Amino acid sequence: MAYSAVKMDELLVSWLTSDDVYEQVLQWIERYHAQEEAKTKQDSTPSSVIIPPFYPRGNEERRRRRFTAPQPHEQWEPLEEEKKDDEESRENNTCARDHAKVIFNELGQDPPLTSPGSVSSVTSEDDPQSQKLERKYLTHDAFVRITKEVCRFPSFFNQPLYQRILDLWNEAFGEHQSPMEVVTFRMLEWYWKQEMEPYDVSDRFFRLVKKPEHDFILRDDFLPFIKALLNDHPGLEFLSSHAEFQEKYAVTVITRIFYSVDKCHSGRITSRQIRRSDLLQAFQQVDEEEDINNVTRFLSYEHFYVLYCRFWELDHDRDYRITREDLLKYGDHSLSHMIVDRIFDAAPRPFNPPNPNRDYLSYEDFIYFMLSEEDKSNEVSVRYWFSCVDVDGDGKLNNMEMRSFYAVQLHRMQCMGHEIVQFEDMLCQMMDMIKPASTEHLVAEDFLQPECCQVSGALFDALFNLNKYLMFEQRDPFMERQKREDEFDCDWDRFACLDYKRLAMEEEAREEEAMEIDWVTVDDEEYDDNRPRGNGDFDGAVSSEAPF
């Protein structure tokens, strides 16, 4: 019996050490890896191949502004947002015209070949020297000084502004001359009188962004400006080889702009909303800031990364749609099924048609949801959640509606073994914090009072986010004080910073694990290559000793 076992072992070793068998096993392994790779590629669509790259660190030397800011002696005080009297307004416009003359005399080129009447049809000056200046033109790259120093726009507005001047000029005078392809001094002067001189800074920005035939800004109107930012800003240079994520970044920025500025969720931004927002200030800040993540309003790449990765984690089938089942997994299953249904049925969707398909959330819808979920202290998020909890849509949140949502929370607390907080106790605590105008019901304005806006979100958490409500019940006063004194301006900035660090740590752990696997694979391959095989020609003979 023992002899038979030894003989079988010798035959097995002989078979395994055969060159033919060894090559066959390698082919099987390679075929398996090829099939797995092909399956992975088949499961991944082009729009969801990979998550975005992390923001590069330690490469400050390459990140330089393409356009330098004007020198102090070249600047003057811009127009304030408030209306100026006629005398001061004329002084500022004269200063702008004089500075534009300096730039055109310095950088302007000889006029392009045009028809004899192309300039005279709109020129009233008889001075030959003046006509020579008016016909000088600036190339697109040289025009950036006009954009930044004269018009007081961010430098990445240069391409859209240059194109807008050409479009308006050719539309106004195209019947009398051939279309212009460069901007002359006369064209700039004409544009200034039409679109800049009569308006303040806010209206100038509004009129540049919107289409000429509209009196509002649509979502696509921002695309040329965000694309110019992607092409110009050194902090976004690393995205130049990732066109799909450039597009997603632009969509994210524009959606965040509408989320904050378009408070009525109409999908349109008016001049009044622009005036009351800090959008232009954010654009001005990012124009001077090397690290785009320092501009947390709208434009931070880290914020985009957090939003997109959270969406990507939930979108398992990679169709860029979030279903109800997907959204229930958000935040470690923290949301109740009742609020998820209300999000799909009643939450604002400004970019969808009048009768949208409520069976899924698009990426833009998810941005609205996540910004509202992670920061319930601002007006937009308060109205977002109020519309979801106000089931009957009467603008009032009554005890019956709150009790129905909280009943689901009570059931979840019981199932998870947590201490039960009765509805009456919870409601009494929340009313003491919010101090509503009426004891019978709550309205959205009750949540927006300055003294309670930072804690008003606790009621929404109590009604539908169990994890956050339990954290609120078990909060540490010392930690709450530290939170109020930290560097973040709002809850969203704090969440995005912490979540980005979490994602970075997870990615670093995956990379280390992959490196360890690679090292093990290399060691195994080196061992196989160095394994003795007799004289190189294996003849089937084996050792008489069994491998045990």
DSSP 485-523: TSS-SSHHHHHHHHHHHHHHHHHHHHHHHHHHHHHHHHH
Q: What is the pLDDT of residues 398-450, one digit of tens each?
A: 999 999 999 999 999 999 999 899 999 999 999 998 889 888 899 999 999 87
Q: What is the pLDDT of residues 203-262, one digit of tens each?
A: 999 999 999 999 999 999 999 999 999 999 999 999 998 999 999 999 999 999 999 999
Q: What is the pLDDT of residue 126?
A: 52
Q: Please state at what angle helix 301-314 crosses helix 363-374, rounded to 10 degrees.
A: 110
Higher pLDDT, 486 or 285: 285
Q: State phi, psi for 224 to the nearest 5 degrees.
A: -60, -35
SS3 call for 322: strand
Kindly report the average pLDDT of the chain as a whole number. 82
Kindly give, in sequence order, each residue whose CB lies less than 8 Å from that of residue 16, ignoring residues fewer than 6 positions away: 22
Q: Which of 363, 349, 324, 369 is nearest to 460 (CA)?
A: 369
- Residue 379 confidence (pLDDT) above 60: yes
- Residue 354 confidence (pLDDT) above 80: no
Q: What is the pLDDT of residue 406?
A: 96
Kindly give, in sequence order, each residue whose CB lies less than 8 Å from that of residue 246, ignoring residues fewer than 6 positions away: 227, 230, 236, 239, 240
Percent of the chain with pLDDT over 90: 53
How does residue 510 score in pLDDT terms, banded at 50, 70 and 90?
confident
Q: State phi, psi for 322 to the nearest 5 degrees.
A: -105, 120
Beta partners for residue 442, in sequence order: 397
Amino acid at residue number 298: F
Percent of the chain with pLDDT over 70: 78
Q: What is the pLDDT of residue 374?
A: 96
Contact 456, 382 (CB under 8 A): yes
CB 421: neighbour CB atoms within 10 A? 17
How does residue 525 score in pLDDT terms, banded at 50, 70 and 90?
low
Greatest mean pLDDT among 26-35, 221-230, 447-456: 221-230
SS3 call for 228: helix
Lowest mean pLDDT among 74-88, 271-285, 288-302, 451-465: 74-88
Half-sphere exposure of 465 (CA within 13 A, CB side): 22
Q: Which of 150, 137, 144 is nearest to 108 (CA)?
A: 137
Q: How many secondary structure helices (H) and strands (E) does the chain include?
A: 26, 4
Beta strand 137-138 with 183-184 is antiparallel
Q: Which of 395, 392, 546, 407 is nearest to 463 (CA)?
A: 407
- The mean per-residue pLDDT over the stretch 174-185 comes to 86
- Residue 84 confidence (pLDDT) above 50: no
Q: What's the distance, Cα to Cα, between the start and end of the chain in Å?
A: 17
Angle CA 378–381–382, to nearest 5: 80
Which 3-state string (H, E, C) describes 82-112?
A: CCCCHHHHHHHHHHHHHHHHHHHHHHCECCC
Task: Give the integer Cα–Cα distance in Å for 413 and 513.
Answer: 37
For 348, counting Cβ atoms within 10 Å of its Cβ (0-12 exposed, 13-18 middle, 19+ buried), the class is buried
Helices (H), 315-362: 324-328, 330-333, 337-346
Q: What is the pLDDT of residues 464-497, one digit of tens each?
A: 999 999 999 888 777 777 777 777 888 999 999 9
- The mean per-residue pLDDT over the stretch 282-306 comes to 95
Residue 242 host element (H or E): none
CA distances in angstroms from 231 to 56, 237, 240, 241, 303, listed in the order given? 17, 7, 8, 11, 19
Contact 359, 344 (CB under 8 A): yes
SS3 call for 397: strand
Beta strand 137-138 with 441-442 is unpaired
pTM to 2 decimal places? 0.79
For 65, counting Cβ atoms within 10 Å of its Cβ (0-12 exposed, 13-18 middle, 19+ buried), the class is middle
Lowest mean pLDDT among 13-22, 202-211, 496-505: 13-22
- Residue 64 confidence (pLDDT) above 50: no
Question: Distance of alpha carbon 5 from its chain centroid, rounded?
Answer: 67
For 275, counting Cβ atoms within 10 Å of its Cβ (0-12 exposed, 13-18 middle, 19+ buried), the class is middle
Lowest mean pLDDT among 215-224, 267-276, 458-467, 499-508: 499-508
Residue 9 host element (H or E): helix 2-16
Contact 64, 234 (CB under 8 A): yes
Lowest mean pLDDT among 82-91, 264-273, 472-481: 82-91
Residue 441 host element (H or E): strand 441-442
- Residue 528 confidence (pLDDT) above 70: no
Task: Give the integer Cα–Cα distance in Å for 322 and 340.
Answer: 11
Kindly give, in sequence order, each residue whose CB lies less than 8 Å from that of residue 163, ignoring residues fewer than 6 positions away: 224
- Residue 507 confidence (pLDDT) above 90: no
Lowest mean pLDDT among 167-181, 351-365, 424-438: 351-365
Which pair of structure tokens corresponds to residue 476?
A: 């540490």
